[in-house]
Structure 1
């Protein structure tokens, strides 16, 4: 089965409150079998532009597991912390 990837591009609007999201999301990602591949590392833009300087890439064992994590009751209150303290885009994509 192909892996599932979560790709997020964010701009944190309230860094102090966003710290709570970082603390709470990590163990939940692990609980669903996910791992962080990229978490706001140094980067350079070569083509185009972005308004979202924080890039996160997660890998889950399957696409379905990534969807299960994102739609879980456990993630719902944690997701709200992210939504309240950042703006950006998130996608879940099936790997090859």
Structure 2
């Protein structure tokens, strides 16, 4: 069943963000994923200091977990952490 990874982020370094995005995209595709949307976020309820939202779609929860745990993606985490503060949430069947 389809699963989604929702990312709420605050960009700290635009250059690092470009570097991270360029590296992360191919890792998502390699695990059967795709970017559903990305751009400014608008909070409808609750509280969040994040201003950017990305939603990734994967063929299954396991595919999403495999992507996140992959050596290729894990190698990008230092760049990600320099680029942004973020929350990653897995949802779907």
Taking structure 1 as the reference length, what is the TM-score of the superposition? 0.86
Aligned counterpart, 1:92 = 90
User: How many residues end up aligned between the 2 structures?
Assistant: 93
Displaced runs of 4 or more, over 4 A: none
Taking structure 2 as the reference length, what is the TM-score of the superposition? 0.89
Give unmatched runs, 5+ long, in structure 2.
Answer: none
Aligned counterpart, 1:9 = 8
Matches within 5 A, 1:1-96: 2-40=1-39, 42-93=40-91, 95-96=92-93
Aligned-CA RMSD value: 1.4
SS in 1 for 2:19: helix
Q: 1:63 to 1:44 in 2, by over 3 A?
A: same
Q: 1:43 to 1:14 in 2, by over 3 A?
A: closer
Give unmatched runs, 5+ long, in structure 1.
Answer: none
Quick check: 46-55 or 70-79, which moved more? 46-55
